Amino acid sequence: MLKPNDNLVDGVYSDLRLKLQRSAISPSDRLVDTEIAAANGISRMPAREALLRLVAEGYLVGTTRGFMVRELSPEDISGLFEVRRQLEPRAAASAARDMTSEVEEELTAAMRRVEQALGASDIPALLAANVDFRNAWLKAVRNPHMAATISRFMDYFQSVRLGTFADPDTAGQYIEGLSRIHVAFLAHDPLMVQDRMMLFMFAAEEAYLSVRRRQLEAETERPARRKNRRRGTA
């Protein structure tokens, strides 16, 4: 429920954006403006404006039954990673150079939560801590437009990232790469951070493509299985 003094559109937008970042909204969910309005005790229009803003930013798509998380094709994933590789390693290098002790402490606390969540197999906590880690180092990026762009491109992958974290081996490799980046940040070594971030993103792209292809194969197989059941075949 929004507080009375919140800007209604911004409040709904921020709440939905946070849920999207943490994969609390799945690709199968339908977001309906009237339902969101009722849940927040507001009129329909602010809810709809917030949803349309998320559509314009590429997080959601409109359907005849409401709004849904934008699902990425393998081509989308490769294309987005190509853009990310142009931005993130250099931005991370600048963050390593300019990182303050406060940001360093925040980054280390987030990394600790990542490791604890992985050890407990707590996927929601792992997703949240992963976002916190990203947001921490982005605070040291002096160009706010660059930081906002990187944040947006990272968030496009949340529905796929959930699948990678659901696999213990893939999640472990992902977090190992994140830990190596964390060590480089603590060393305030821009070149090391840049190199490790680049390697991390190549590995992440491979993992995300693998997950997405499996998802697409499962989606293709389900109608065939239903059709076979109706025919009485195995």
Q: Are residues 83 and 41 in the same domain?
A: no
Q: Are residues 39 and 87 in the same domain?
A: no
Residue 221 burial by CB count (10 A; 0-12/13-18/19+): exposed, middle or buried? exposed
Q: How many CB atoms lie within 10 A of CB 70?
A: 17
Q: What does each C-alpha distance from 142 to 19, 139, 194 come to in angstroms?
A: 26, 8, 16
What mean pLDDT is reported for the chain?
A: 89
Of 223, 210, 212, the C-alpha closest to 73 is 212
Q: Where residue 89 sits, what CATH number does that domain have?
A: 1.20.120.530
Last residue of a domain, one of 39, 69, 99: 69
Residue 142 inside a domain? The answer is yes
Q: What is the pLDDT of residue 232?
A: 58
**Which of 19, 46, 69 corresponds to the end of one domain?**
69
End of a domain among 69, 95, 111?
Answer: 69
- pLDDT on residue 231: 59
Asked whether residue 227 is domain-assigned, the answer is no
Range of the domain at 133: 74-219
Domain shared by 99 and 197, yes or no? yes
Q: Are residues 33 and 84 in the same domain?
A: no
153 and 214 share a domain?
yes
Instruction: State the CATH number of the domain containing residue 48.
Output: 1.10.10.10
Question: What pLDDT is recorded for position 215?
Answer: 84
Paired sense of beta strands 60-63 and 66-69, if any: antiparallel
Q: What is the pLDDT of residues 176-225, one digit of tens each?
A: 999 999 999 999 999 999 999 999 999 999 999 998 998 889 888 765 55
Same domain, 84 and 60: no
